[in-house]
Amino acid sequence: MRQTVSSKAYWRSGTALAGVVGAALLAGIASQPAHAAPAYAYANIEFTNFTLSGLVDSSGNALPGVTLLTTPVVTVTDSANYPGVPPCTGCFAGGTGSGSLGSGASETQAYAGPAGATISALSDTALASYTPQLTSLSGTRGEVNISSPIATGATSLETSEGRLTLNNGAAGSSTNTTTTIEASFSVSAGTTVTLAFNYAVDTMASVGKLGDNANANVTAQYQIIPQSLGACVTGTGTVVPVACGLNAKPDALNPTASQTLLPFFTPHYTASGSMSFTDTLTAGQYELELTSTTTESLTTIPAPEPVSLALLGTGLVGVGMVRRRRRQG
């Protein structure tokens, strides 16, 4: 059945809509805060009892049947930026730390904040924490560390966090951390490599007004890549090797929280548990790589001018009144 609506019904609905929208805008002016709530994002990944066995001992020396072609390297990086010139006093944009499977690696916390601000209360010592710290402070920070020894059980921690409070113009900020473990080696037939760990991940993002953007991401990936003819990985763990190699990127360790459309609603993803990958390698040469990252990015746009909103609201209310009078006449 085809439904028709008269032009008079359209006229009435248009009149009502204009009046309602206009009144809502005018009401919004009265309740609009002097500054919109900030954009906020937090990303964290933690590994405990993190153990890579089958290649080296607790001192980083190769086990029988394994030849290290290069010295295994542990690398951590962090970075932070926040809009404003000059940058805040005492800020540290970030850097890179390196170590071995026996020593782990760490890097001074990266921090950036509002121009002209000091961070005496936001020093590396004060904010060397992997829980949310910027819920009431403006800035961005990245913190990363992996303890030793990895062969017998390490702790790896990474956090990116930001709170952007600039609302009088377009502005953006971001933070990034990365942990990478790399090893090039050859093995005799039947060598078994096991990676096991407990994990906890946390991402959240929120915005203060429509049009702002907040993103928090965590990624983690484990690869064993054959480098010689005949080299092949046979998986007995939770992931089936692809093309004779291992490429594991579990969904639980790769979450994203993103917010643009719903101010004051905060997507929040948390997960924890344990994972284990046990794989047998045929004789040959391999590259092993473990990578985890946390990132956050924030963007704010200029807040609508109250005067402009008031004029628009008044105009729509006026349109509604004129239409009503014409209809009544």
Quickly state the pLDDT bin for 171 (edges 50, 70, 90). Answer: confident
For 147-239, list the strands marked E by DSSP: 154-164, 171-187, 191-206, 213-226, 233-235
The pairing of strands 94-99 and 39-53 is: unpaired
Average pLDDT over residues 66-83: 92
Helix axes 306-328, 7-31, angle to 10 degrees: 150
- For the segment 256-302, what is each residue's pLDDT rounded down to a tens digit? 999 887 776 788 999 999 999 999 999 999 999 999 999 999 998 88
Phi/psi at 99 (5° precision): -165, -160
Q: Is the pLDDT of residue 310 over 60?
A: no
Place of tokens 């006026």: 318
Q: Determine if the pTM surpasses 0.85.
A: no
Q: Helix (H, G, I), strand (E, B), or coil: what is residue 310?
A: helix
Q: Are 283 and 187 in contact (CB under 8 A)?
A: yes
Q: Report the sign of the C-alpha dihedral through residues 64, 68, 71, 72, in that order.
A: negative
307-312 contact pairs (CB < 8 A, 24+): 309/25, 309/28, 309/29, 309/32, 310/25, 310/26, 310/29, 312/22, 312/25
Distance CA 105, CA 173 (A): 26
Q: Are 140 and 123 in contact (CB under 8 A)?
A: no
Q: Is the pLDDT of residue 9 over 70?
A: no
**Between residues 240 and 3, which one has the greater pLDDT?**
240
Average pLDDT over residues 17-45: 59
The CA-based diameter of the chain, rounded to the nearest angstrom, is: 99
For the ranges 36-40, 78-82, 100-104, the maximum mean pLDDT occurs at 78-82
Q: Is the pLDDT of residue 145 over 70?
A: yes
Phi/psi at 89 (5° precision): -70, 130
Q: Where are the alpha helices (DSSP H) in the chain?
A: 7-31, 306-328
What is the CA 308 to chain-centroid distance, rounded?
35
Distance CA 83, CA 173 (A): 6
| CA-to-CA separations, 213 to 95, 140, 209, 302, in angstroms, rounded | 26, 15, 9, 12
Residue 176 token pair = 């990034």
